[in-house]
Structure 1
């Protein structure tokens, strides 16, 4: 295999730029959810079960990362690394030491968005939760998924049968050599 493209996330997709974009998505999602609630249901929010709401908020980020991890095919070679930004805020990165097929990598990126959004919609309509915490959970979820969706659409343009390898500085896009296929 040889590398056809290399992306250094620390330089090209600046963390702070993506953080600001995620914050804008958070504000927009929360605003739309509250305006929609106010227009369709009036001003009757429920503030029931605040501890349950806060526990869901605390569990959202680990569950999001677990969704990334579950889909990866090489679980033995996968690990979660903790990086710190803003001195105290921990960010978890799911990394894989072996190259992963592009389709699996894309599936790993989009799985948390699909799974958590479907769970949110099911619980929202099934249990008629009109809680501020529930809208806050949706907004935080969309903000967390912003980076994943950005990378998902960026990686779609890679060659069809390519492999994606995580490295310390970013990712490498690998393609199998035709020479290896002919002689194997």
Structure 2
């Protein structure tokens, strides 16, 4: 296999830039959605009950997000490296790395599935539990900000050849093709 493109995620974007992009996306998403949705539900009074459950959901959002990344790739077994760490002594953090090449479509599906499932459930909850729409919108915005690195990875894969493969390393990922004839 030949390397079509190497994306050094840390060098190209950096942790600070990703944090700023994620934060701006989170704030923008909340501001963009809060006014129209609360206007739509203007007849409902917002409740601040279940604040502890809301805080627990914020803490559990990242591990849930990572588990949903893992689900489409769980059948690959040894092709992916999974390591659990603890952050702040109590938050479980899952690191997933594709050690062997997998198909572009499969990799993109694994990237987008957490956004589709979690965001879909949170937006549906806005309409089912209208007194807590502000909680669900904050969780939605938080999760959308969390998905920014996934969106950037997908953007980098967008124009790659359809039948290419993706392999991750510590710094980013490589887009691999079978032969030179696939470049056209």
TM over 0.5: yes
Q: Distance in 1 between matches of 2:40 and 2:130?
A: 13
| 8 A contact 1:71–1:108 mirrored in 2 | yes
Partner Cα distance (1:50, 1:120) in 2: 16
What is the distance in 2 between the residues matched to 1:100 and 1:90? 26
Partner residue, 2:179:
177
Q: Give the alignment's TM-score, normalised by structure 1.
A: 0.83
* CA deviations over 1:91-115 (Å, ceiling 9, x no partner): 7542111111000001111111111
Partner of 1:18: 18
Q: Does 1:128 align with 2:138?
A: no
Q: How far has the Cα of 1:131 moved from its partner?
A: 4.3
1:45 is paired with a residue whose SS is: coil
More off after superposition, 94-103 vs 41-50: 41-50
Q: Is this contact kept in 1: 2:123–2:137, CA < 8 A? A: no
CA contact (8 A) 2:98 2:168 kept: yes
Aligned 8 A contact 1:69 1:78 in 2: no
Give 2:71's aligned residue: 70
Question: Which residue does the alignment assign to 2:99?
Answer: 97
**1:113-152 alignment runs, 5 A limit:** 113-152=115-154
- Say what the alpha-carbon RMSD is for the aligned residues: 2.7
CA drift of 1:40 comes to 3.1
Q: TM-score w.r.t. structure 2 length? A: 0.83
1:6–1:173 Cα contact (<8 Å) kept = yes
State the SS of the aligned residue for 2:118: helix
Matched residue, 2:36: 36
**Unmatched 5+ residue regions in structure 1?**
180-184
